[in-house]
Amino acid sequence: MENILVISRHPEILGVVVRLINQQPDWNAIGTCIDQEALQIFQQGNISLVLLGNGILPEEEEQLRADLLVINPAVLIIQHYGGGSGLLVCEIRQALEHKVIIG
């Protein structure tokens, strides 16, 4: 089971993305809009990948990436700002299969 942490500033979009990810049989998504909560989840859980969604300001993203990498320098962090469920699944699958950081 791959645990995926989703961070977005838009609760409605976050809910949709988490639901789409959880439709995949081997994936489990956990979502939050709050950076501190994201870091707590990340520290406590066995997170395979962090997906950064829309609404995160560039300076917030920079700080999030830095904080996540301090906790786990090997973490995969990808960005997804839309484009449909097929694109979302492909981006996550590619990152997990190839251990590639996208975005």
Q: pLDDT by residue (tens digit) across 4-34? A: 999 999 999 999 999 999 999 999 999 999 9
DSSP conformational letter for 9? S
Q: Cα angle vertex 65, ends 60, 66, to 5°?
A: 100
What tens digit of pLDDT does each residue of 46-56 get? Answer: 999 999 998 99
What tens digit of pLDDT does each residue of 81-97 get? Answer: 777 778 899 999 999 99
Tell me the whole-structure pTM to 2 decimals. Answer: 0.92
pLDDT at 102 over 70: no
